[in-house]
Amino acid sequence: MIASSVALSLLAAAAAPAAHAASPTAATPPAAQCPGNPNALGTSRTLVVDPMEHARIGVMQYRESLPLEHKEVVITFDDGPIPPYSNRVLDILASECVKVTYFLVGRMSHAYPSIVRRMQAEGHTIGTHSNSHPLTFHKMPIGQAEAEIEGGIANAGAALGDRAAVAPFFRIPGLLRRDEVERLLVSRGLMTWSADFPADDWKHISADEVMKRALERIEARGRGVLLLHDIQPATVLALPGLLKALKARGYKIVHVVPASADLPKTATTPEQWMGRRTANGSGNGGSWPTPVFTIETLLADPILPTYDPTSVGVIDALGPAPVVARSQMRSFRAPARAVPLPPEPVWPRHLDDAAASRAAAQPVALPVPSMGSFGRDQDFAPASPVLGTAGHAALLPPVPVFGPGEARPPLGPRLAALKPPAGPRAPATTPVSLAAEPPPTTTAAPLPAPEPTGATPRGLLGRWPFSTSALPKLGIP
């Protein structure tokens, strides 16, 4: 009896590679073999992908997604690891024998290497999510982006003790993609992961709402890559119910790993990678969001759908400092005998709400351009105190006039630079004095007559480029 069982096991093992190569639905051990939980959700199969063959996946941003069958889901977690959240998530996944893909932040991997090693030991895939989770990948210098990518891989590899153990999977923080970064990732042999649907677990919603949104979006599409965060308390509380609900609704979990010399890729067809399929596997609907595709767009380079960064919690992605939505949750009710959770995650480092609102309300003040930009060295120099009043003649201060006995204020640095060097010069006319009786020995130069109301202004504000020749001749040395 024992010999026949061993023979059957050997036959099954010999037949497994052939079945795995022939079909994308090759199954791993059933959930019934999950120790201590015969009703576990389990992991139905392992999907082996070639990162160079399909470099970008996830219909939130790209035209391709993983070649999943109806009612198959890939679960991914971002932003960790951090205790106790990541530890609790690992406990829950182990209890259901579910394998997932992690996208780890390099600094967090460096801070908590034991959690990273546990993820690997329990069979999960370790991808990366940059080194410090900056929300500027869409505009940072490409050298900085490369340093962030490399730092995340290096720290995750150091935590595992083997850089090769890190999967060539990368998710851009905030999903703030751009072409240059994606080309850089391809040149490094990395596969860019977006997602097919999020659960909004970074927002200030309850665990029940996280579970509700995840299930609604999974059901609407019928398959896909789910984006979660193992640093969020609401996610930890929602995960047990989410896995049980997926089991009750007939969904299966697929584990994704990269192909290697010892592990050939799963055989698939190009049609299976088309992300715009309906639940029954045909048509263009069922994605999140659902853009209109034509044969021209499918044959040409991917035309990305309009992507709203607020979908992943980024309020102002294009500002000088991106503003991130901050969770307002302050307390949670954990199940009985559960490890207590802190009130809110400490990563990412969210901006203060008040500071964010102040920054949004403050207009951007552009600097006044220098006239040197227009090839004129000294234009505006004598009038520098009134640069901000250009176009508003009524706001110009009166021209100062000093009598012979009145002290003059010291010259500003720009006027001092214009003052001619000391030496013999022709006597200048004395300006009109404000005194009641000017000295009879001087003749004042008349000031230019004011222009009539409604006339086109000339002088400082009426010409472009402005010229110092339009200023009144006041005889100021």
- Going through 249-319 in order, the beta strands assigned E by DSSP cover 252-258, 314-316
Nearest to 166 by CA among 150, 142, 182: 150
DSSP alpha helices (H): ranges in 352-393? 353-361
Backbone phi, then psi, for 225, in 5-degree steps? -100, 120
Pick from 123, 118, 81, 74: which is nearest to 103 by CA? 81
Partners of 27 in the β-ladder = 45
Strands 45-49 and 169-170: unpaired
Q: In Å, what is the CA distance from 105 to each residue of 11, 99, 112?
A: 43, 19, 11
Residue 416's pLDDT is 61
What is the pLDDT at residue 455? 46
Return d(Cα 455, Cα 365) in angstroms, integer. 32
Instruction: Give the Cβ contact number of residue 113 at 10 Å.
Output: 17
What is d(CA 360, CA 332) in angstroms, rounded to the nearest whole number?
31
CB 300 within 8 A of CB 292: no
Q: Which two tokens stand for residue 352?
A: 């203060």
Burial of residue 232 (CB within 10 Å: 0-12, 13-18, 19+) is buried
**401 φ, ψ (degrees, to nearest 5):** -130, 130
pLDDT at residue 202, as a whole number: 85
Size (the chain), residues: 477
- DSSP state string for 216-241: HHHHHHSSEEEEEETT-HHHHHHHHH
Residue 87: per-residue pLDDT = 95
The C-alpha atoms of residue 426 and residue 422 are separated, in whole angstroms, by 12
To the nearest 10 degrees (0 to 180), the angle between helices 85-96 and 113-121 is 10
Please check whether residue 20 is in contact with residue 30, taking contact to mean a CB–CB distance below 8 angstroms. Answer: no
State the maximum Cα–Cα separation within the chain, in Å, rounded to a whole number: 135
Helices (H) and strands (E) in the chain, counts: 11, 12
Instruction: List the pLDDT tens digit at each of the 477 positions of the chain.
Output: 444 444 444 444 444 333 333 334 444 445 457 888 999 999 999 999 999 999 999 999 999 999 999 999 999 999 999 999 999 999 999 999 999 999 999 999 999 999 999 999 999 999 999 999 999 999 999 999 999 999 999 999 999 999 999 999 999 999 999 999 999 999 999 999 999 999 999 887 899 999 999 999 999 999 999 999 999 999 999 999 999 999 999 999 999 999 999 999 999 999 999 875 444 444 434 444 444 444 444 444 443 444 455 555 555 555 555 555 544 444 444 455 454 444 444 444 444 444 444 444 444 445 555 544 444 444 444 443 444 444 444 455 565 666 666 666 666 655 565 566 666 655 555 554 444 555 555 555 555 555 454 444 444 444 444 444 545 555 554
Other Cβ atoms closer than 10 A to 339: 13
Q: What sign does the CA torsion over 115, 134, 235, 191 have?
A: negative
Name the strand (E) or helix (H) holding 22: helix 2-22
CB 465 within 8 A of CB 371: yes
User: How far from 213 is each of 216, 227, 249, CA to CA, in Å?
Assistant: 5, 12, 15
Report the Cα 349 to chain-centroid distance in Å.
13
CA–CA distance, 316 with 136 (Å, rounded to integer): 11
Cβ(83)–Cβ(238) below 8 Å: no
Domains, the chain, ordered by start: 20-361 (3.20.20.370)
Which pLDDT score is estimated for 36? 84
What is the C-alpha separation between 132 and 218, in angstroms, rounded?
30
Q: HSE on the CB side for 263, CA within 13 Å?
A: 10
Question: Looking at residue 337, what DSSP letter applies?
Answer: T
DSSP 350-362: PPPHHHHHHHHHS
Q: Is the dihedral of CA 272, 275, 193, 76 positive or negative?
A: negative
The 8-class DSSP code of residue 445 comes to: P
Give the 3-state secondary structure of residue 3.
helix
Residue 369 is given by DSSP the state P
